[in-house]
């Protein structure tokens, strides 16, 4: 049994990762999925899809930017399964504006999900993995974790921040047999792009492309850690 906790599972890349794990079910791999995001209807539709693939699936509507909700996500995993084998830190947000137009509300909106909630959920899950000396934590960061883009000051700050966070985590993780993978995609056609998705989709990757790479990394022998995955559209960044 592998307990897989995915944040932001309702849409886009997180949803595709959940479906990919479910599709890989086989005799010696029976994932238990715990899927969380803010929109219950998304999660219920996804649960149905994963259960149709004969995978045990639980969903939890929760707001990652609030610490009491972060605790609720962790407690839900622990009370149900006693552990998390794989955490996919996927939930993320961005507001894309000229640097001079970004507000304090934009700052809190971005940082509270991408950094604060992600950090404190990871901290809880890692403590348990460290004690058990086993586990795998993925961060879906972005190429914006190491490349600056105009209109993206806060998004880049949060993604560079995630990269710093996970690289420090890896210093601890290497000592206790836990794998930490930084997944850095370029543009992917998901709801995050809003209306722009329709016009740009042809130049973007699909969520399934990221999901395949993530699940392949999970299936590497446990002696091997895929530390970074960089995926870009064939034509490069938009
Ligand atoms: N799309 C891209 O081009 C791209 C490229 C590189 C990296 N990424 C990163 O990949 C990750 C997934 O992006 P995506 O494109 O799949 O985004 P998306 O389509 O907007 O989906 C994001 C998911 O995260 C959930 N979520 C967002 N904020 C949340 C919060 N505070 N609490 C709980 N759930 C929250 C959303 O839930 P609700 O909809 O219910 O609110 C949704 O299910 C993000 O970290 C993003 O930065 C995306």
Cα–Cα distance for residue pair 148/235, rounded to 1 Å = 18
Task: Specify the residue for token string 């944040």.
Answer: 7
Rounded to 10 deg, the angle between the 67-81 and 118-132 helix axes is 30
pLDDT, mean of residues 90-113: 98
pLDDT score for 186: 98
C-alpha 115 – ligand 1 centre gap (Å) = 13
Find out whether the beta carbon of 162 lies less than 6 Å from any atom of ligand 1. Answer: no
Closest CA to 4 of 77, 69, 61: 77
Cα–Cα distance for residue pair 148/151, rounded to 1 Å = 9
Q: Residue 224: is its pLDDT beyond 90?
A: yes
Decide if 110 contacts 154 (C-beta within 8 A).
yes
Residue 205 main-chain phi, psi, to 5 deg: -80, 170
**pLDDT interval class at 60 (50, 70, 90):** very high
Decide if 19 contacts 50 (C-beta within 8 A).
yes
Cα–Cα distance for residue pair 238/226, rounded to 1 Å = 26
Find out whether the beta carbon of 91 lies less than 6 Å from any atom of ligand 1. Answer: yes
Q: What are the domain boundaries of the chain?
A: 2-227
Find out whether the beta carbon of 237 lies less than 6 Å from any atom of ligand 1. Answer: no
Q: What HEC string does 108-135 produce?
A: HHHHHHHHHHHHHHHHHHHHHHHHHCCE
What are 127-180's pLDDT values in tens digits? 999 999 999 999 999 999 999 999 999 999 999 999 999 999 999 999 999 999
Q: In 3-state terms, what secondary structure has residue 79?
A: helix
Average pLDDT, the chain: 98
pLDDT score for 64: 98
Burial class (CB in 10 A: 0-12, 13-18, 19+), 227: middle
Q: What is the DSSP string of 160-218?
A: HHHHHHHHHHHHHHGGGTEEEEEEEE--B-SGGGTTHHHHHGGGSB-HHHHHHHHHHHH
Q: Residue 25: is its pLDDT beyond 90?
A: yes
Atom 45 in ligand 1: residue holding the nearest Cα: 92
pLDDT, mean of residues 94-114: 98
| C-alpha distance from residue 217 to each of 107, 161, 212 (Å) | 32, 23, 9
pTM of the predicted model, to two decimals? 0.98
pLDDT score for 12: 98
C-alpha 92 – ligand 1 centre gap (Å) = 4
Q: Residue 182: is its pLDDT beyond 90?
A: yes
Burial class (CB in 10 A: 0-12, 13-18, 19+), 27: exposed
From first CA to last CA, the distance across the chain in angstroms is: 40
Atom 36 in ligand 1: residue holding the nearest Cα: 8
Find out whether the beta carbon of 112 lies less than 6 Å from any atom of ligand 1. Answer: no
Would you identify the CATH topology of the domain 2-227? Rossmann fold (3.40.50)
Decide if 94 contacts 155 (C-beta within 8 A).
yes
Q: Residue 1: is its pLDDT beyond 90?
A: no
Decide if 8 contacts 91 (C-beta within 8 A).
yes
Find out whether the beta carbon of 32 lies less than 6 Å from any atom of ligand 1. Answer: no
pLDDT, mean of residues 55-81: 98
Cα–Cα distance for residue pair 180/177, rounded to 1 Å = 10
Q: Residue 47: is its pLDDT beyond 90?
A: yes
C-alpha 91 – ligand 1 centre gap (Å) = 4
């Amino acid at each position: 049994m592998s307990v897989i906790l995915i944040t932001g599972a309702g849409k886009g890349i997180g949803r595709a990762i959940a479906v990919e794990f479910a599709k890989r079910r086989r005799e010696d791999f029976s994932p238990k999925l715990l899927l969380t995001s803010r929109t219950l209807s998304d999660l219920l539709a996804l649960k149905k899809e994963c259960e149709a693939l004969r995978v045990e699936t639980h969903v939890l509507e929760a707001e990652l930017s609030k610490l009491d909700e972060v605790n609720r996500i962790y407690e839900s995993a622990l009370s149900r399964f006693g552990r998390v084998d794989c955490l996919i830190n996927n939930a993320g947000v961005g507001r894309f504006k000229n640097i001079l137009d970004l507000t304090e509300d934009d700052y809190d909106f971005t940082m509270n999900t991408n950094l604060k909630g992600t950090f404190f959920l990871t901290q809880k899950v890692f403590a348990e993995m460290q004690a058990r000396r086993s586990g795998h934590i993925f961060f879906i960061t972005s190429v914006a974790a190491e490349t600056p883009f105009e209109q993206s000051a806060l998004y880049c700050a949060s993604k560079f921040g995630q990269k710093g966070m996970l690289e420090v985590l890896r210093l601890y993780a290497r000592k206790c047999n836990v794998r930490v993978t930084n997944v850095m995609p370029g543009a992917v056609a998901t709801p995050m792009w809003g209306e722009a998705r329709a016009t740009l989709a042809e130049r973007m990757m699909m969520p399934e492309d990221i999901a395949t790479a993530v699940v392949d990394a999970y299936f590497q022998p446990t002696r091997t850690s895929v530390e970074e995955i960089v995926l870009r559209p064939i034509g490069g960044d938009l």
